[in-house]
Amino acid sequence: MIITDLLERNARLYGGETSLVEINPSEERDKATTWWDFNLIESASSDAPYRREISWKDFDRRANRFANLLLSRGLAKGTKVAILLMNCLEWLPIYFGILKAGCVAVPMNFRYSSDEIKYCLELADVDVLVFGPEFISRMDAIAGDLPTVRRMFFVGKDGPAYTEDCLRLMSFCSSNPPPVALTETDDAAIYFSSGTTGFPKAILHNHRALYCSCETEQNHHSQSREDVFLCIPPLYHTGAKMHWFGSLLSGSKAVLLRGVKPEWILRAVTEERCTIVWLLVPWAQDLLDAIDSGRVDLSQYRLDQWRLMHIGAQPVPPSLVQRWRKVFPHHQYDTNYGLSESIGPGCVHLGVENIHKVGAIGKPGYGWEARIVDDQGNDVADGDVGELIVKGGGVMQCYYKNPEATAEVLKGEWLYTGDMARRDEDGFIFLVDRKKDVVISGGENLYPVQIEDFLRAYDKIKDVAVIGLPDARLGEIAVAIIEIKEGMTCTEEEIDAFCQELPRYKRPRKIFFDRVPRNPTGKIEKPALREKYCQGRLVEVQITG
């Protein structure tokens, strides 16, 4: 089945029911972007967060209108169309409109600078760009220097002179399905790698991969028509969208929350009766810290319907899950592992029934296979560390226009993830670290994630990153960058004493007290940390012993 068929089915079966809600707690109502001829249902109270919603029928009709707009401009099947929007009610209908037109959707990271936007547009051979008001200044800087982009649509009011008014033009287009036949093997989307290891690579997926992610997600979390999914992470990333695909498959409502403050999350869960919430590690930590400090009073919220909290996109500290379970003992908990190259989360999956295995990323997900291999591609014994490789319907077609990089990670049907892992005697996989993040110190392999998990158990530490820095004697040494919880103080002596419980060779040789930078999907930006500390711009503290 093609994923756009699911949208048309939902419009036919559940047309008048709510498909999507957008909540923006900080937006001024008179500055909000809206559809030209939208039948919007908005917040009645002036002091309520700005809120919009659309039905399944409206969702499908808007997707059809955008698809027909693209076709009216002569776009051929396979043309690349980029989306540069903040999370909003327009995002998903535009995405599905691109797919319905037979074009290739190219979601863009909303944190990209002008130069990064230009780089990715050229890398993906983007012909059409759709962007919103938040990006005007960035686009102004490069609008005259985009050789592949022939047309730009603006989603909002009073767009730049070099753009066309997307929403107004859509109002003149047919809301009937476009006459485009799609197959599972047609190219569907290009996603960009997170860029934590350098310039992003363009990851090409077909329609089969998108539908695979629907089935995997719904199988893992059992979304039903009664569920309401709270989606906070950016839609340009495979994680958020592919978790929402479970709502698409079940025909259930989803809420797009534009903001991560603990109070906003809990208010959205309460008022929209959310049952499933996907959080990144920093947001879960912030929510627990707000509760512990008394800034958030859980008695002020209605949370009894909230059944599942799951986390992904990065290693999850077991100490965080243990804290969460104490505060929310009735919650099911789950974690998913995945990569943009494997169409996002789910190729490895813990499962709500396996809470006793917290710390593991799980077993192969629905429709997936997984192995742990050595440098020659041979399976390693249980308990030994090797590289995690996966196989399934969601594996990418290739790195677009990069056959060398493709050949490094695609070997037959197997995707080499670059993540080091081990499997226990029960078949559960534990992530050890990124292959390129392993620190080799004095001939010993040190896995930063293991040291980070240990340090996070210290009650004054909010976040931590461990990296390797060059050392003349040992080759590399492990260095810890530690972010202390707000309102607390901490000394190097405290960290030194706490680290005595670690084996001597695993103890960080230096520490820095600083903020731990993370990208929009929650991953630690370790290349930036290596560059910063190799230049020695901050005062270092030597760990004894």
Question: 283-308 pLDDT, tens per residue?
Answer: 888 899 999 989 999 999 999 999 99
Tokens of 435: 């292959």
CATH 3.40.50.12780 fits 3-7+54-206, yes or no: yes
Residue 389, H or E segment: strand 386-392
Residue 330's φ and ψ, nearest 5 degrees, are -85, -10
Tokens of 178: 């476009």
Cα 538 to Cα 528: distance, rounded to the nearest angstrom: 14
Angle between helices 56-72 and 91-100 in degrees, nearest 10:
50
How would DSSP label each residue in 14-68? HTTSEEEEEEETT--GGG----TT------SSTTSPEEEEEEHHHHHHHHHHHHH
Share of the chain above pLDDT 90, in %: 61
Cβ proximity of 441 and 459 under 8 Å: no
The pLDDT of 409-413, averaged and rounded, is: 94
Angle between helices 262-272 and 281-293 in degrees, nearest 10:
90
pLDDT of 373 higher than 90: yes
Minimal CA–CA distance to 78: which of 133, 121, 139, 124?
124
Please write the tens of the pLDDT for every residue from 307-359.
Answer: 999 887 666 778 888 889 999 999 999 988 888 899 878 899 999 899 888 88
pLDDT of residue 27: 61
pLDDT of 538 higher than 50: no
Cβ proximity of 233 and 260 under 8 Å: no
Tokens of 273: 């009766």
- pTM for the model: 0.82
Cα 84 to Cα 166: distance, rounded to the nearest angstrom: 13
Superfamily of domain 438-542 in the CATH hierarchy? ANL, C-terminal domain (3.30.300.30)
Amino acid, res. 442: G
Cβ proximity of 361 and 334 under 8 Å: no
Amino acid, res. 355: I
Q: What string of H, E and C letters represents the secondary structure of 502-539?
A: CCHHHCCCEEEECCCCECCCCCECHHHHHHHHHCCCCC
DSSP 528: H
Cα 298 to Cα 47: distance, rounded to the nearest angstrom: 21
Q: Of the ranges 68-82, 207-221, 422-436, 478-492, which one carries the lowest mean pLDDT score? A: 422-436
Domain ranges of the chain: 3-7+54-206, 438-542
Cβ proximity of 212 and 184 under 8 Å: no
pLDDT of 519 higher than 90: no
